[in-house]
Chains A and B, each alone.
Chain A
Amino acid sequence: AQSVAQPEDQVNVAEGNPLTVKCTYSVSGNPYLFWYVQYPNRGLQFLLKYITGDNLVKGSYGFEAEFNKSQTSFHLKKPSALVSDSALYFCAVRAGGSQGNLIFGKGTKLSVKP
């Protein structure tokens, strides 16, 4: 079955420190991977995607993600966290190739303290 897992419910980081939000996936065929961010009482905002090509993908707001095929992971990273990065982060994968529906992980709450 196609699935995506975010093993951490919450990640706490001090402002200025690097952050990593973890994501692993299980799909048949090539994975189409996405990261979204959700601020309180808002819809989700697209951050970045991996379809093919370079394993390091750069996205919005200084975020990047590293695709690792052997570990079936797609971790979200940022070199220096901001308090304003505090939000709920979702990893997602297209199930069944490019035409399948988008399956989301449970989400990871990122808290950045000053």
Chain B
Amino acid sequence: KAGVTQTPRYLIKTRGQQVTLSCSPISGHRSVSWYQQTPGQGLQFLFEYFSETQRNKGNFPGRFSGRQFSNSRSEMNVSTLELGDSALYLCASSLEVGVYGYTFGSGTRLTVV
């Protein structure tokens, strides 16, 4: 079966712009989580969605937002981009929130210039 699909794979944006990243989970998975990965901070949790509801949120500014659609696909948006937002953004899906392992996508590499 298809894995977690993230689009686009690479993105270059200018400071001050906004960006939307997309994630299609594995079929049947209803939980989607987003992480930011940087060399200095490692994997930082952004948010987790289940059945279109945000279940958990990490310590990121309000410029970072997300949503989940009825088909479990998810998007995250970053407004007013800053240089420090350059990172690999990873999406992960699981059957439900809880004891299941995550399946990660390959990520979107965002570069802010």
Write the residues of chain A forming the contact surface with B, with a CB cutoff of 8 angstroms. Answer: 32, 34, 36, 41-46, 49, 51, 90, 94, 98-107
Contact = CB atoms under 8 A, between A and B. Distances in A.
Interface in B98-113: 98-99, 101-107
A103 B45 contact: yes
A44 B45 contact: no
Interface residues of B, number: 22
A105 B43 CA distance: 8
Contacts of A44: 90, 92, 102, 104
A4 B51 CA distance: 28
B42 interface: yes
* B42, B43, B48, B55: residue with the most chain A Cβ atoms closer than 10 Å: B43
Interface of B: 4, 33, 35, 42-43, 45, 48, 55-56, 58, 90, 92, 97-99, 101-107
A39 to B, nearest CB: 10
Given A44-B90, A99-B56, A101-B56, 17 more contacts: A32-B99, A34-B102, A36-B104, A41-B106, A42-B107, A43-B4, A43-B104, A49-B101, A94-B98, A98-B98, A98-B99, A101-B58, A102-B102, A103-B45, A104-B45, A106-B42, A107-B42
Contacts of B97: 98-99
Given A90-B43, A101-B48, A107-B42, A42 B106 contact: yes
Contacts of B101: 34, 46, 49
21 contacts: A34-B102, A36-B102, A42-B107, A43-B4, A43-B92, A43-B104, A43-B106, A44-B90, A44-B102, A46-B103, A94-B99, A98-B99, A99-B55, A99-B56, A101-B45, A102-B102, A103-B45, A104-B35, A104-B42, A104-B43, A105-B42
